[in-house]
Amino acid sequence: MKITRFMMIGLLTTGIGFTGQQSSHQLPPLPYEKNALEPYVTSKTLDFHYGKHHQGYLTNLNKLIETNKSLQGKTLEEVIMLSSKNDSLKSVFNNAAQTWNHTFYWKSMKHNGGGQPTGELLNRINRDFGSYEAFKKKFIDESVKVFGSGWVWLIEAEGKLQVVTTKDGDLPMIQGQKALITCDVWEHAYYLDYQNRRKDYVEVFLDHLVNWDFALSNLA
């Protein structure tokens, strides 16, 4: 599958990008094999999460774009920004944002990831949160507070690193914030592996999965 400009910088953020080919967007490949995150996130979870949920958002998005000529030929980021400002395009926004969020989430993890970052990123975390442990506690606490479905993010805004959460498919991009990493706290992201234990899942994300190299590339 050919992915056009997948690794290029998108609007208002870094790390991922999509280009529409006429009215159609394509599903980027996972950046690792489906079993690469085991035992923390199983291949069975990725079969459903990537193969069903992520693909489903993309399929819905392409169908919606087919009926809206003003969105055809736009990058995914452009579709997100345009639809976020138009209540009549709420369904477009939800599916476009969830398509973007999921690709960013896959890249926020890696095999043998997790643990404390080093170098500039650790210095920034220590400066803005007081310590890595303080950051970790806030990231976990905020994720648990999300009622229902959503996302927890490490972002940069106004020169500072912050932990923020978004509901449903919302994302920092539309607030002009730079996303560094995200953890998906929709139930489908973790239920097969952790059932209702969201806190355990987010702790594992930070201890064993988070891709700090990706975060640092977004901070640059």
Contact 95, 30 (CB under 8 A): no
Q: What is the pLDDT of residue 220?
A: 73
Distances in Å between the alpha carbon of 136 and those of 10, 26, 119?
A: 28, 34, 17
Each residue's pLDDT, cut to its tens digit, for the chain (220 residues) gives 333 333 333 333 334 444 434 448 999 999 999 999 999 999 999 999 999 999 999 999 999 999 999 899 999 999 999 999 999 999 999 999 999 999 999 999 999 999 999 999 999 999 999 999 999 999 999 999 999 999 999 999 999 999 999 999 999 999 999 999 999 999 999 999 999 999 999 999 999 999 999 999 999 7
φ, ψ at 127 (rounded to 5°): -65, -45
Give the start-to-end residue ranges of the domains of the chain: 119-219
* Closest C-alpha among 100, 139, 132, 94 to residue 19: 100
Amino acid at the residue 168: D
Architecture of the domain delimited by 119-219: 3-Layer(bab) Sandwich (3.55)
Q: Name, in order, each residue with C-beta under 8 angstroms of 171's C-beta and a sequence gap of 6 or more.
A: 80, 97, 100, 101, 151, 153, 179
**pTM for this entry:** 0.89
